[in-house]
Amino acid sequence: MKKIVIALLLIGLVITTSIIFLKPTEKEQSNISLLKAKYSKKHVPSVDHSKFAILQKKFNSPQDATAACISCHTERHKEVMHSNHWNWEREEYVQGRGIVYVGKKNAINNFCIGVEGNEQSCAKCHIGFKMTSSMTPLTDPTNIDCLVCHDNSETYAKGNELAGAPDKAVDLNLVAQKVGRPMRSNCGVCHFFGGGGNNVKHGDLESSMFEPSADIDIHMSPETSNLVCVDCHTSENHVMKGKVYSLSSMNRNRSTCEQCHTETPHDAEILNEHTVKVACQTCHIPVYAKENSTKMAWDWSTAGKLKNGEPYTEEDSKGNHTYMSIKGSFTWADSVKPDYIWFNGTADHYLLGDVVNDTTKPIKINTLNGSYADRDSKIIPVKIHRARQPFDPVNKMIIQPKLFSDKKGEGALWIDFNWLRAAKVGMDEVHLPFSGQLAFVRTEMYWPINHMVSSKENTLSCNQCHTRENSRLAGLNDFYMPARDYSSIVEIGGKIIIILTLLGVMVHAGIRISTKRKSKKEVHNEI
Amino acid sequence: MKYKVYIYKAFERFWHWTQAILIFMLAATGFEIHGSFTFFGYQNAVKYHNVSAYAFIVLIVFAIFWHFSTGEWKQYLPTASNLKAQINYYIFGIFKNAPHPTKKTVLSKLNPLQKLVYLGLKILVIPVMVISGLLYMFYRYPQKDAVESINIGSLEVVAIVHTIGALLLIAFIITHLYLITTGETVTSNLKAMITGYEELEDEKSSKEN
C-alpha cells in the first residue's frame, strides 16, 4: 500500500512540475521571417533619370526643374497640391467644434509657437518655393519642390530664409538626374529638426535616425532591416499614411505597427491579450531620445536678456542650448522614459483665438482623448513638452508673437527684443486683438512616441508596469492593474489576520510545551 | 485498546497532497502577481499560476466525484454536538493532557470544528476562489468589436475578492499546519495522512467512554 501511495504522490508531483516548468515550444516566427524577406528586397527603379534629355538641360531656377518633372509626370502636381505636405492644413471633425480646418495657419505649438508671420524662415520645411507672405495658398504648380523629397543624391538642401528655395550652391541638374523613392534623409531633413534644431520636437525622430544602430531603431538600422520612412508611411497619390497629433485630430489614415505585425504578433497569448488596451509602442519603445537630447521644457519668459546689448546663447556640456536671448531657457533630456496616456486616436487643439479662462493648470496645446472605459483607447507612450509662453491676460488668448524678420524695427522679437511690440505685430497679422498686457502661462503639448523601437530583448518587462514601486503606469489611475493596485483595507486586514494567527499558534504551542514539561516534572517528582 | 486502522484511502491522500502542492504553488505565484514579492518573474508567475489553477480545477472535479461516489461527503455535515467540548479542549484541555473529546473513527474522522472549517472551505472559500479566479483570467476589458454585455468595467472587485480569499487561505494553512501536531503524538496525524494508517482506539471502547 505504501508503495502505491508513494508512486501516486510521485506521479502527481512529476505531472504538476512538468506542466509548470515545461517551456512552450518556440513557435516559428513565420510572420517576422516573411516580413524580413519582403523588406530585404532591394528597390530597383524602373527608369534611370540621368538618361532623360530634359534633365540635362541647364535649370536656371528651381521652378525650371519642377516644370521638367511635370512635363513627364503630368498629373502628379495635382496630387501634391491636395496633400497636407503642401497645404499644411487638414479638414477635420473635432468633437465640440464640428468641421474645422486645422493646420499650421491656426494651430500653434509651445516651441516657436506658430508660423504665421514667420513664413520666410519656416518655409525651409515647406515643399514649395516662394512662401514669402502670409500663407496664401500657392497656386502655381512650378512652385512645388519635387526635389526636396525625391533627391537621392543627398546634395539637395533648402536655403536659410529663402522662403523655401534651395540653397544657391545646389546643382539642380545633378539632383534632378538622381531622383527616386524618398530615403530617410529626405524626410529627416525636415522631420528630425522640427522646432529649430535636432530632436527639439519629437524626441523619437532625430539625426541619429539617418543611420541608426540596431539599439536605436530595430527597423531602420542598416544593421537590421534597414527600413526607410516610406516603407511604413506608405503613400497613395502623394498622401502619406500617418500624421502627428500636434496638428491632426481624427482617427484616420494612421500608420500603425499592426499594418505589418498584425494585432496578435506574440507567441504568448497573455501578451496578445495586452494589445486590446496597450499600444505596441508602450512596451517596445522603453526610452526615446536614445542618442541625442530632446527638448523637454521651454520658458519663453526669460527671453530678451542681452549681454552688452547683444543677444547670446548658453550651452550645457552636451552642446544643447540652455539659454538663448531670442527664445528663452530650455531643459533637455536624453534616454527619456515616456509618459503614458490613454489615447483613442482623436485629438483637439488650441486654435488661435480660443479663449482660456482657467490658467491655474497648464493649458493643453493639444488634447489627446481617451480613457480606460473608452473601448477604442489604448495606452500609448508620449513625450510631454512643457512651456511657459506669452498670453494675453485680458483677452485670455495665447499670443502668436512676431518672431522673425530680416530687418530691425518691424517688431520681430528675435531682432528687436521687445515683447509687447512683437505680441502686437504678431496678433495683428493673425487678425486677433491684443490688450497690451502680456503674461506667461504654462502649457503642455503631447507628442506620441512611435519611433526608436527596441529589439524584442530590450522591450519592457512585465514588472516595469506591474509593480508597487515606480510603475511606469503609476500616472494612469482609472483602472485596476495587478501588482500595482490593491485595496489597503484588505492588505492591512489580511496582514493583521495572518499575524494574529501566527501569534495564536505560537502562544498555544508555547503553553503546550511548557505545560508538558511541568507535567513531566510532576511525574518525576511523584516517583 | 488501540490498533491500526486504515483511515485515509489512497485517493484521499493523493487528493490531499496534490491539493497541498497546488495551493502552495498558487499562493507563491499568486502573491507575486499581487505584487507582494518577486521570485519567479512576473510572466512566469502568471503562467505557473494559470497552469496550477487548471490543475486544481481538474483535481476538484475528481474530488467532488470521489466524495459523492464514496459517500465521504457526509463526513463534512456540521454538527453542534461536542462542538463546545472541542473548543474547550483546544483552549484548556490540551494543556492538561486531557483526552481528545471527539474519538476518531473511520466513519467519523473529523471533529466538529474540522467539519465546520472544512465545509466552509469547500462550499465557500474554494468556490469563491475558483469563480473569481476564472473571472480574473477571462474578464474582458471594455474593448471594441466586442459584445458590450460581456465587458467587465473593472477588474478591481474580482481582484480584491480573490485577494481576500487568498489571505484567508494563508491563515487557514498556518492553523492547519499547527493543528497537525495536536494528534495523539506530535507526528501521528502527519503519518496518518502519508501512510493512511493511524492508531485509533477500539470503537467499542470509545463508545464506552
H and E: helices and strands count for chain A: 16, 15
Mutation target to probe the A interface, by most A beta carbons within 10 A, among B160, B179, B197 is: B160
Name which residue leads in pLDDT, A39 or A341. Answer: A341
pLDDT at B79: 86
Q: Residue A527 to residues A455, A523, B98: CA-CA distances in angstroms? A: 80, 6, 21
Average of per-residue pLDDT values in chain A? 90
Would you say residue A167 lies in a domain?
no
Task: Quote the cell numbers at residue A475.
Answer: 500616472
Q: Which residue has the higher pLDDT, A15 or A407?
A: A407
The pLDDT of residue A375:
85
> Is A497 domain-assigned?
no
Tell me how far apart the alpha carbons of residues B9 and B193 are, in angstroms, rounded to a whole number.
Answer: 9
At residue A12, the pLDDT reads 74
As a whole number, mean pLDDT of residues B184-189 equals 88
Quick check: A525 pLDDT over 70? no
User: Percentage of chain A surpassing pLDDT 70?
Assistant: 92
**CB burial class (10 A; 0-12, 13-18, 19+) of residue A396?**
middle
C-alpha cell of residue A214: 540596431
Residues in chain A: 527
A474 in contact with B, Cβ within 8 Å: no
Q: What is the pLDDT of residue A34?
A: 87
> How far from chain centre, in Å, is Cα A215?
18
8 A C-beta contact, residue A241 and residue A230: no
Q: Which helix (H) or strand (E) element contains residue A236? A: strand A235-236
The per-residue pLDDT for A163 is 82
Number of C-beta neighbours around residue A327 at 10 A: 22
CA angle A451, A453, A455 (to 5 degrees): 165
Residues A424-448 pLDDT 10s:
999 999 999 999 999 999 999 999 9
Smallest CA–CA distance, residue B170 to chain A, in Å, is: 7
pLDDT of residue A211: 96
Pairing of strands A239-240, A339-343: unpaired
Separation in Å, CA of B142 to nearest CA in chain A: 5
pLDDT of residue A238: 95
Q: Of A161, A158, A84, A89, which is closest to residue A118 (Cα–Cα)?
A: A161
What crossing angle do the helices spanning B83-91 and B112-120 adopt, rounded to 10°? 100
3-class SS letters over A432-475? CCCCCCCEEEEEEEEEECCCCCCCHHHCCCHHHCCCCCCCCCCC
Residue A67's CB is within 10 A of a number of other CB atoms, namely 16
CA angle A255, A157, A219 (to 5 degrees): 30
Highest mean pLDDT among A93-102, A116-125, B74-83, B103-112: A93-102
Q: Tell whether B33 is within 8 A of chain A (Cβ).
A: yes
Q: Which residue of B lies nearest to A502 if distances are taken between CA atoms? A: B174
CB B116, CB B78: distance < 8 Å:
yes
CA distances to A9, A16, A20, B60 from B52, rounded to whole Å, are 16, 7, 7, 12
Q: How far apart are CA A83 and CA A358, in angstroms?
A: 36
Q: Is the pLDDT of residue A5 over 90?
A: no
Q: Which of A3, A20, A514 to probe by mutation at the B interface, max B CB count within 10 Å? A: A20
* Residue from A492, A86, A20 nearest B56 by CA: A20
Contacts of A374 in chain B (CB under 8 A): 142
User: Residue A469: is its pLDDT beyond 50?
Assistant: yes
Interchain pair B13, A12: CB under 8 A: no
Q: What is the pLDDT of residue B93?
A: 87
Q: Which residue has the higher pLDDT, A135 or A86?
A: A86
| pLDDT reading at A527 higher than 60 | no
Per-residue model confidence (pLDDT) at position B207: 41
A189-198, B28-37, B48-57, B120-129: which range is least confident on average? A189-198
Of B42, B141, B170, nearest to A276 by CB-CB distance is: B141
The answer to whether residue B62 scores a pLDDT higher than 80 is yes
Read off the DSSP letter of residue B79.
-
Question: Which residue, chain included where needed, has cell 525651409?
Answer: A124
- Provide CB contacts within 8 A for A400, sequence distance 6+: A108, A113, A114, A116, A117, A352, A426, A427, A429, A430, A432
Nearest chain B Cα distance for residue A2, angstroms: 6
Q: Vertex A460, ends A211 and A228: CA angle to 5°?
A: 25
What's the one-letter identity of residue A118?
A: N
pLDDT band at residue A302 using 50, 70 and 90 as cut-offs: very high
A162 falls within a domain: no
Q: Is-contact A221 A156, C-beta < 8 A?
A: no
Cell of A312: 547670446
pLDDT given at position B206: 43
Structural domains in chain B (count): 1
Q: At residue A269, does pLDDT exceed 90? A: no
Question: Tens digit of pLDDT for each residue in B7-21?
Answer: 999 999 999 999 999
Q: Which domain holds residue A121?
A: 89-125+181-250+264-460
Mean pLDDT value across residues A223-244? 94
CB of B44 within 8 Å of any CB in chain A?
Answer: no
Give every CB contact of residue A116 below 8 A, 6+ residues apart in sequence.
Answer: A104, A105, A134, A135, A352, A400, A426, A429, A430
ipTM of the complex: 0.89
Q: What is the mean pLDDT of residues A33-43?
A: 87
Report the pLDDT value the prediction gives residue A154, as an integer from 0 to 100. 93
- CA A286/CA A452 separation, integer angstroms: 9
Measured CA to CA, the distance from residue A479 to residue A276 in angstroms comes to 14
Q: What is the tally of structural domains in chain A? A: 1
User: pLDDT band at B143, cuts 50/70/90?
Assistant: low
Give the domain extent around B94.
2-208
Cα within 13 Å of Cα(A71), Cβ side: 10
Could you tell me the pTM of the whole model? 0.89
pLDDT at A23: 55
CB distance A423 to A433 below 8 Å: no
pLDDT value for B146: 59
CATH of the domain at B54: 1.20.950.20
pLDDT in tens, A403-412: 988 889 999 9
pLDDT tens digits, one per residue of B31-51: 999 999 999 999 999 999 999
* Average pLDDT across chain B, whole number: 88
The whole-angstrom separation of Cα A474 and Cα A464 is 10
User: Mutate which of B24, B88, B167 to disrupt the A interface (most A C-beta within 10 Å)?
Assistant: B167
Strand partners, A348: A367
Three-state DSSP at A103 gives strand
- Cell digits of residue A453: 523601437
B22 contact A CB<8A: yes
- Distance in Å from the first CA to the final CA of chain B: 12
- Whether B191 and B1 have beta carbons less than 8 Å apart is answered as no
Residue A59 identity (one-letter amino acid): F
Q: Does residue A378 carry a pLDDT above 60?
A: yes
Across A279-303, average pLDDT: 97
- The minimal CB distance from A9 to the residues B14, B95, B141 is found for B14
Q: What is the pLDDT of residue A130?
A: 81
Partner-chain contact A498 B170, CB within 8 Å: yes
The per-type count for chain B, helices as H runs and strands as E runs, is 8, 2
Beta strands in A300-377 (DSSP E): 313-315, 321-324, 328-333, 339-343, 347-349, 363-364, 366-368
**What pLDDT digit, counting tens, does each position of A330-362 carry?**
999 999 999 999 999 999 999 999 999 999 999
Least confident of A104-113, A296-305, A348-357: A104-113
What pLDDT, on a 0 to 100 scale, did the predictor assign at position B100? 85
Q: Mean of the pLDDT values across residues B117-135?
A: 94
Which residues from A are below 8 Å from B160, CB to CB? 486-487, 490
In whole angstroms, give the CA distance from residue A402 to residue A121. 12
Q: What is the mean pLDDT of residues A410-421?
A: 93
H or E segment to which residue B158 belongs = helix B156-179
Half-sphere exposure of A319 (CA within 13 A, CB side): 3
Q: What is the bridge-based pairing of β-strands A89-94 and A98-103?
A: antiparallel
